[in-house]
Amino acid sequence: MGVDECSALDDVAGLVAQLREVRISNRVTLATIGEALGMAESGVSRLESNYYYSTALITHLSAYATALGYTLRLVLVRDDTPEPADDRRIGATSSITS
């Protein structure tokens, strides 16, 4: 595994940790998140434990971004946070809904 892939995987682990911290600090249960995602509470627990996501997908997305001259970054941002004017994203942002 190359440096770019390791960096992207570290970003995923950090993002998952942030999501867990936000869930806990807001006193939201695994069951509530599971219901919103249409998955079992155990699935959300696995997701938070970094066992659930596909490392192959992250590796491919990182390589894809690199091929376009970009770096893949995964960032958790509140929905009410305005995007910076100099943001150079490709395509539109999206959110996960059930």
Does some domain include residue 82? no
**Which residues contact residue 4 at a Cβ distance below 8 angstroms, ignoring those fewer than 6 apart?**
62, 63, 66, 71
Q: How many domains does the chain have?
A: 1
First CA to last CA across the chain, in angstroms? 33
Can you say how many angstroms the Cα of residue 72 is from the centroid of all Cα atoms in its chain?
Answer: 11
Beta strands of 1-98 (E only): which ranges?
A: none
State which residues form the domain around 36.
Answer: 3-67
pLDDT in tens, the chain (98 residues): 444 445 666 777 777 888 899 999 999 999 999 999 898 999 889 888 866 666 667 777 788 888 888 888 777 788 887 776 655 555 444 444 33
Does some domain include residue 96? no
Q: Distance (Å, rounded) from C-alpha 7 to C-alpha 5?
A: 5
Does some domain include residue 25? yes
Does some domain include residue 36? yes
